[in-house]
Amino acid sequence: MTFISPALRSETQDLAPLRMPLSAAERLVALETGRSLVKGARARADERPYLDAFLQEFGLSNQEGIALMCLAEALLRIPDDETADRLIAEKLTSGNWDSHSGRSDSLFVNASTWGLMLTGRLVELPDEVRSNANGWLRQLTQRASEPMVRQALRRAMKIIGSEFVVGRDIDEALRRSASDASLALCSFDMLGEGARTDADAERYFDAYVKAIEQIGRSKANRNTGLDRSLHDRSSISIKLSALDPRYTAIHRERVRTRLIPRALELARMAAACGIGLTVDAEEQDRLEISLEIFAAMASDPATRDWSGLGLAVQAYGRRAMAVIEHITELAETQKRALAVRLVKGAYWDSEIKRAQERGLVEYPVYTRKCSTDVSYLACARALFAASDRLYPQFATHNAHTIAAVLSLASARREAIGGSVDFEFQRLHGMGTLLYDEARRQLTSLPRVRVYAPVGPHADLLAYLVRRLLENGANTSFVNRFMDERVSIEQVVSDPISEIETLSDIAHERIPLPTGLYGASRLNSRGVDFGRRSNIEQIQQCLKNTLNLPSPESRYVTPDDVEMAFNKASLAFLDWRRQPVAERAEILERAADLLDQSRDSFLTLLATEAGKTAADAIAEIRETIDFCRYYAAAARQLQGAALVLDGPTGERNELSHVPRGVWCCISPWNFPLAIFTGQIVAALVTGNTVVAKPAETTPEVALAMSDLLYRAGVPRDVLHVLPMVGKEFGAVALRQSTLAGVVFTGSTQTAQWLNRTLAARDGAILPLIAETGGINAMIVDSTALPEQVVDDVLSSAFGSAGQRCSALRLLCLQADSAERILEMLNGAMESLVVGDPTDLTTDVGPVITASAATDLERHIERMCERGRLRKRTALAATTGAVAKDRFVRPALIEIATAKDLDREAFGPILHVLRYRTEELPQLLEDLRANGYGLTLGIQTRLDGTRRTLFEGTLAGNVYVNRNMIGAVVGVQPFGGTGLSGTGPKAGGPDYLTRFTTERVITINTTATGGNTALLTLE
């Protein structure tokens, strides 16, 4: 059974059928019960667990909460003391810790606060910290020295950590579960980031296997007796992302052959052990593929009689109800019982961000908390309606949600005249007081299972941060639950009533991804790879074959260049007079036309330039953004003259007027985006253009110029002349009508252009040059290795390394280098290098066979200076592309930055190690090569980030993310030094360089006196 996502609709339309999940009477009961629970819990505030108190005290709204989150996220993984000390010092000086001291009766808050008060006095958290708080606090004020502070803080973090995890391994967790009544019924979760390598996936799989066996055998589970329901036993939760490093919808085949068998094996083991197994819900992008895996698990005859298979469903997802309906049908057709854990969803902020970055047409999640709450209740009702097959599990810490679910349960009981089996779930360390209170007040409270993370402290960081983020938010129930400043009526309110008061279901301050840039321009539309229909459509475009003529057959002659300049200079006379608004409209029309022609450009880019789907889509989007951004920028620049302040009786106006005929020379690595960006910037400001596209990619350029003509650019205003660069340059640069040159390509050619222009007689012409760089990423030991590896892979090997912004030199702090290198090795192993028309391909060919040969030579040369750490394999088939155009990604370790003295424009990554004290020298070495294009920084230390930013020549600096894919208008792009002249493409100053400034000063008193002054009242 396949899950097909419902068609895209507005948020209002999606929520409309769910708006009334409770009857009026049920709503009233839910409100009363919820409020009574909060009231009861508040009366017992002194019993609240450490964590609740802690989360309330250190929210996201205070600096200390954020500093603490930073520390918690990074401290435990830092291997070297020096960096740990710097992080501690930095984060602690950024907060006012005294203000928290003693604010809560909870020892935990006090312990952490004191642990965090690094003020020269200080701080040790001995083991007896919990048992002898007073004695411990006295000690704090008596001792002081850095190692102690560090030790204390590490321990403080572990204390925080131990509040979130039940054990460092499954044995410890089970021992705790057996001895602690509040942890008797758990769903154990093995912590960790998603697998980045096959080895990770195997490790996680083994951990799950071991955990399932142990949970099945555990004393606590045996005590429940075989006659009792499976749901009375502790169970396991698994993350599919832990089972394969390529768990995405695009890698469907691999998921089928590798991940599904693993998932089936775990399910069979859980069934054999008689325990439940729930598949956690992860990103919305993975929803469809997760349902495919789940369907395979649910259709397995070997486990049909086992009722423990479960799936988590996120109510914030706008497809949630469709998912519930799908699972209900799956249970029916497979004639088996399934469990559904209903959650609201843990990744809301990331979902919103990702959708904006990708330019999705709609968000996959609701944008208001009350919509999620209503969706949750609607899904809950649907689960009860299907409770003959489904076992509902409600995961929440929200009193109103608990109360509303209970009232739905009682309605269901009445309707069927019998009992309904279901449970609540809470996270370990949270919601204890609330559920205790519910148990006290309500006879109908069913079993409550605890989601129990298991793992070493260093692995809990990401989890911890997610919980802090989730609960620190102002909209979070946990954040306000015990806060006496917030009335009980506010804490427990009816989300349905809230929805009724809204004029628009979509949040007014969260624009749709396409509306990100407000009224000035539309964001380009991206592709939602979470929907199979899109994937299939893109795959089809890639597979369409095009028989392109040879590039040479398109080449024009030097005479054509002369003719083009003549025509362009004549056309300039009219074009410059065209109102800027009309020129801008042409660009916007071009953007819309390109959006409509996306599929054909996708095919063309894949065929002519060997682009992978992801790269081609990104390039088309960038082109559209250039058109819209420059249209808006030109309106602003040339819409009206700037009136300048001055003495009365005089009018001074500054205007930007076009220069004349521009020569635009673009490279093959972005045959669409850079080609178009240069041209439209010149055109929209009123210039005419003679453009030379790259020798190897004339078809893309010609297709785009056709599109520009269709959008309204007159033919004589734009001339596109494919030919050999040198021949073109020789003719173009001697044209007397030439008014400026814009160029992207090699530094040598830029220098030739510069010298040739300088040697001309007559006017001094502007040159805008964007060239290459030896781009580095500096990674210290505070960085998260998994994130580093993700970002390195995309920065170094994306687009087969053929981006000028690509990462060439990875600089790793020696203390954490080996761990990152190992992970990087493993992750490179699963890179797919091959046919660009296959959607699963990560690294396509380089532009020509001779480029590949040069790159291989570079690899050989660098291996002589250093050591080859890794080369990936080439796929067995490379489609229509000859094998000699492929360069298998390489990782080469070198000793110093000086060893890398030239840019190698391909998938070759050099890596070096540095010690902290060598950082200034490293920065010096990087500057010494003269390039300044991009720099990546991965650190949690603000001080390091500032030092590197100040010390680098790089025009674009990226912190804790990848360093490619600059977005037009968001990250204006361009380098300094040998990397370019500026102004930055896609930035606010770019258009001015295509114009000259003119000022007119009019003596307004000359014709009859200063009337404006004389009539002043």
**Active-site annotation, residues:** 770, 804
Site mask for ligand FAD (CB under 6 A), range 568-607, x = bound:
----------------------------------------
Min dist CB 400 to ligand FAD, Å, is: 8
Task: Give Cβ neighbours of residue 775 (< 8 Å, ≥ 6 apart).
Answer: 805, 806, 807, 808, 809, 931, 933, 934, 935, 936, 954, 963
Measuring CA to CA, which residue among 213, 44, 944 is closest to residue 957? 944
CA distance 889 to 871: 6
Q: Which of 372, 523, 749, 771 binds ligand FAD (CB under 6 A)?
A: 372
Min dist CB 281 to ligand FAD, Å, is: 4
Q: Which of 243, 395, 541, 779 binds ligand FAD (CB under 6 A)?
A: 395
Q: Considering the rule CB under 6 A, would residue 345 count as an interface residue with ligand FAD?
A: yes
> Which of positions 272-291 make contact with ligand FAD (CB under 6 A)?
280-281
Q: Considering the rule CB under 6 A, would residue 492 count as an interface residue with ligand FAD?
A: no
Binding window for ligand FAD (CB under 6 A); candidates: 419-427, 434-442, 561-569, 974-982:
419-427
Binding window for ligand FAD (CB under 6 A); candidates: 38-46, 74-82, 389-397, 870-878:
389-397
Strand 775-779 and strand 908-914: pairing?
Answer: unpaired
The values of phi and psi at residue 230, to 5°, are: -55, -30
> Which of positions 299-338 make contact with ligand FAD (CB under 6 A)?
312, 314, 316
Give SS3 for 476: coil
Choose between 366 and 670: whose C-beta lies nearer to ligand FAD.
366
Binding window for ligand FAD (CB under 6 A); candidates: 28-36, 130-138, 365-373, 686-694:
365-373
Q: Which of 41, 211, 346, 908 binds ligand FAD (CB under 6 A)?
A: 346
CB atoms near residue 712 (< 10 Å): 15
Choose between 239 and 808: whose C-beta lies nearer to ligand FAD.
239
Q: Considering the rule CB under 6 A, would residue 419 count as an interface residue with ligand FAD?
A: no
Size of the site for ligand FAD (CB under 6 A): 31
Q: Considering the rule CB under 6 A, would residue 348 count as an interface residue with ligand FAD?
A: yes
Choose between 368 and 628: whose C-beta lies nearer to ligand FAD.
368
Q: Which of 83, 241, 307, 401 binds ligand FAD (CB under 6 A)?
A: 401
Q: Considering the rule CB under 6 A, would residue 687 count as an interface residue with ligand FAD?
A: no
Q: How far from chain centre, in Å, is Cα 14?
A: 25
Q: Considering the rule CB under 6 A, would residue 366 count as an interface residue with ligand FAD?
A: yes
Sign of CA dihedral 991, 996, 1001, 1002: negative
Q: Which of 262, 344, 858, 888 binds ligand FAD (CB under 6 A)?
A: 344
Q: Considering the rule CB under 6 A, would residue 775 count as an interface residue with ligand FAD?
A: no
Choose between 125 and 238: whose C-beta lies nearer to ligand FAD.
238
Min dist CB 638 to ligand FAD, Å, is: 40
Judge whether 535 and 529 are in contact, CB under 8 Å. yes
Binding window for ligand FAD (CB under 6 A); candidates: 472-480, 593-601, 622-630, 650-658:
472-480
Q: Which of 326, 354, 369, 611 binds ligand FAD (CB under 6 A)?
A: 369
Quote the DSSP letter at residue 101: T
Choose between 424 and 743: whose C-beta lies nearer to ligand FAD.
424
Task: Give Cβ neighbours of residue 584 (< 8 Å, ≥ 6 apart).
Answer: 631, 632, 634, 635, 684
Strand 661-665 and strand 688-692: pairing?
Answer: parallel
CB atoms near residue 850 (< 10 Å): 11
Choose between 48 and 91: whose C-beta lies nearer to ligand FAD.
48
CB atoms near residue 710 (< 10 Å): 13
CA distance 477 to 493: 11
Q: Considering the rule CB under 6 A, would residue 399 count as an interface residue with ligand FAD?
A: no
Q: Considering the rule CB under 6 A, would residue 551 count as an interface residue with ligand FAD?
A: no
Q: Which of 68, 343, 713, 833 binds ligand FAD (CB under 6 A)?
A: 343
CA distance 985 to 969: 9
Q: Which of 177, 290, 367, 782 binds ligand FAD (CB under 6 A)?
A: 367
Choose between 348 and 670: whose C-beta lies nearer to ligand FAD.
348
Q: Tell whether omega for the bond before 983 is within 30 degrees of 0, i.e. cis.
A: yes
Min dist CB 478 to ligand FAD, Å, is: 6
Q: Considering the rule CB under 6 A, would residue 701 count as an interface residue with ligand FAD?
A: no
Task: Give Cβ neighbours of residue 41 (< 8 Å, ≥ 6 apart).
Answer: 48, 399, 433, 434, 436, 437, 481, 482
Give SS3 for 952: coil
Choose between 377 and 812: whose C-beta lies nearer to ligand FAD.
377
Quote the DSSP letter at residue 255: I
Cβ-based burial of 596 (10 A; exposed 0-12, middle 13-18, buried ≥19): exposed
CA distance 210 to 415: 43
Q: What angle, 0 to 180 degrees and rounded to 10, lies between the N-to-C axes of helices 613-638 and 598-609?
A: 120
Q: Which of 368, 525, 656, 869 binds ligand FAD (CB under 6 A)?
A: 368
Min dist CB 467 to ligand FAD, Å, is: 8
Q: Within 13 Å of residue 620, how many CA atoms lie on the same side as its CB?
A: 28
Min dist CB 637 to ligand FAD, Å, is: 38
Alpha helices (H) along 492-647: 495-500, 532-543, 558-575, 580-596, 598-609, 613-638
Min dist CB 379 to ligand FAD, Å, is: 12
Judge whether 473 and 66 are in contact, CB under 8 Å. no
Min dist CB 450 to ligand FAD, Å, is: 7
Quote the DSSP letter at residue 286: G
Binding window for ligand FAD (CB under 6 A); candidates: 391-399, 794-802, 843-851, 877-885:
391-399
Q: Name beta bridge partners: 973.
A: 985
Q: Considering the rule CB under 6 A, would residue 398 count as an interface residue with ligand FAD?
A: yes
Min dist CB 453 to ligand FAD, Å, is: 10
Q: Considering the rule CB under 6 A, would residue 251 count as an interface residue with ligand FAD?
A: no
The values of phi and psi at residue 878, to 5°, are: -120, 20
- Chain contacts with ligand FAD (rule: CB under 6 A): 280-281, 312, 314, 316, 341, 343-348, 366-369, 371-372, 395-398, 401, 425-427, 451, 470, 475-477
